[in-house]
Amino acid sequence: MVLDPLIKVAALVGGVGGAKLAYGLSKILSPDQLTLIGNVGDDLDLYGLHISPDLDTVMYTLADRANPVTGWGLDGDTWAMFDMLRCYGEDPWFRLGDRDLATHLLRTQWLAQGMTLTAVTERLTLGLGMRHPLRPVTDDRLATMVETEEYGPLGFQEYFVRHQWKPTVRRVWFEGAERARPTPEVATALREARILIVCPSNPVLSIAPILAVPGVRELIENRKGTCVAVSPFIGGQAVKGPAAKLMGEMGLDISVHGLIRTYDGLLDGLIIDYTDRDQLQAGESIRVRVTQTLMQTADDKIRLARECLEWVGSW
C-alpha cells in the first residue's frame, strides 16, 4: 500500500499536464481518499454554451475517454457541427467536437436550471464513470485574463486558442476573483488533506487562478499537512503550452528556484525532472526530488504519482 487509506489527499489540477498526474493518482487512491480541485479560470461562453475546458480535460482523462493525441477532447470525436458552422459563414476559433458538445449542452442546461457548477460537474463525471470527486475551486465566475502587447487584454481562451499563445504577455489577472469563494466541498477537501499535490500545470495560468480565490491559500496554509508540487518544466521548458514563454515575458524566473518563488511559501517539496537537476544548489529552502517527470504512457502517470505519494509519505 502506497499510503495509509485514512490519509486524505487533494490535488490542484489544471489542464492536460496536470490531468496526467491526476490520472496516476486516481489509479492509486480511492475516491474517498482523493479530491481533485479544478481550475475554472479558462471557462468560456461560446455559442451560448458554458465550456469548462480544464474540468473537461480532467474528467475525460480520468474516465479514460480523452483523445490520446491532443490530451484534450474526447477520443474518436468528430467535427460535423464545427464544420457546419463554416457553412453559415462563421469562423469558429475554438474547436468543439460533436461528442464533446453533449457535455457542454448538458452543463449549460443544468446551470440554467439553477444547479451549481459543482453539482453539474459531479453529475457529468458520474455519468462518464469517473469515480473520484472533481471539484471546481469555486462556483462563482472567475476569468483568467491576459494583458498582451499586441492585442491588449484577452480572455484566456482567446489568448491560448485563438491567438495560439503567440502574443507577448505583460500581465495575467483573474476577473471576478475578489468576489469568488471556494465551495464548501473544496474547503472541506483542503482542510482534510494531509497531502496536497500541485499537479504539473501552468503555475500562472492554471494553478494561480485556483489560488486567487480568496480563502484558498489560507485553507492550504492553515491546515495540518504537507504540500508538494510537480514541476511542469522539463529541460527548462514546458512540455507543451505557454508556461515557459509566458513566464519569461512576464519577467518571472522559470528555473527551479523561480518556480518555488512563484508558489511563494506554499511548497514543502518539489519534484523536478532530471533534465533540470543542474539547477539545484546545496541547501535548497525546500525538499527537492529529481526523477523522470515526462508522462507519456499510463504507466508513466501511475509511476510518477506513486513516487510522489511515497516520497511525501516518507517525510
Shortest spacing between CB 74 and its own copies, in angstroms: 8
Shortest spacing between CB 175 and its own copies, in angstroms: 21
- β-bridge pairing 169-175 and 269-273: unpaired
The binding track of 223-262 with respect to its own copies, each residue x by CB under 8 A or -, is ----------------------------------------
Provide the 3-class DSSP secondary structure of residue 83: helix
- 104 versus 132: smaller Cβ distance to its own copies: 104
- 99 versus 181: smaller Cβ distance to its own copies: 99
- 105 versus 280: smaller Cβ distance to its own copies: 105
Q: Between vectors from CA 32 to CA 302 and to CA 10, what angle results, nearest 5°?
A: 60
Shortest spacing between CB 195 and its own copies, in angstroms: 32
- 133 versus 242: smaller Cβ distance to its own copies: 133
Helix (H) or strand (E) holding 302: helix 298-313
Shortest spacing between CB 121 and its own copies, in angstroms: 12
Shortest spacing between CB 228 and its own copies, in angstroms: 34
Choice from 7, 49, 145, 161 touching its own copies (CB under 8 A)? 49
- 92 versus 215: smaller Cβ distance to its own copies: 92
Residue with grid cell 495540518, as numbered in its chain: 224
- 84 versus 280: smaller Cβ distance to its own copies: 84
Shortest spacing between CB 184 and its own copies, in angstroms: 25
Choice from 2, 7, 44, 47 touching its own copies (CB under 8 A)? 47
Mark the segment that binds its own copies (CB under 8 A) among 14-22, 43-51, 53-61, 205-213.
43-51
Q: Could you tell me which residues come within 8 angstroms of residue 202 by beta carbon, excluding any fewer than 6 positions away?
A: 14, 15, 17, 232, 238, 241, 242, 243, 246
Buried b (16+ CB within 10 A) or exposed e, 184-216: ebbebbbeebbbbbbbbbbbbbbbbbbbbbeeb
Half-sphere exposure of 161 (CA within 13 A, CB side): 15
- 123 versus 163: smaller Cβ distance to its own copies: 123
Shortest spacing between CB 86 and its own copies, in angstroms: 9
Question: For residues 75-94, which are near its own copies according to CB under 8 A?
Answer: 77-78, 80-85, 87-90
Shortest spacing between CB 87 and its own copies, in angstroms: 6
> Whole-angstrom Cα distance, residue 217 to residue 289?
24
> Whole-angstrom Cα distance, residue 26 to residue 224?
23
Question: For residues 91-130, which are near its own copies according to CB under 8 A?
Answer: 97-103, 105-106, 108-109, 112, 123-124, 127-128
Residue with grid cell 453539474, as numbered in its chain: 120
Helix (H) or strand (E) holding 36: strand 34-38
Listing DSSP states for 100-155 in one string gives HHHHHHHHHHHHHTT--HHHHHHHHHHHHT--S-EEESBSS--EEEEEETTTEEEE
Which amino acid, 105?
L
Chain residues in the site for its own copies (CB under 8 A): 47-49, 74, 77-78, 80-85, 87-90, 97-103, 105-106, 108-109, 112, 123-124, 127-128
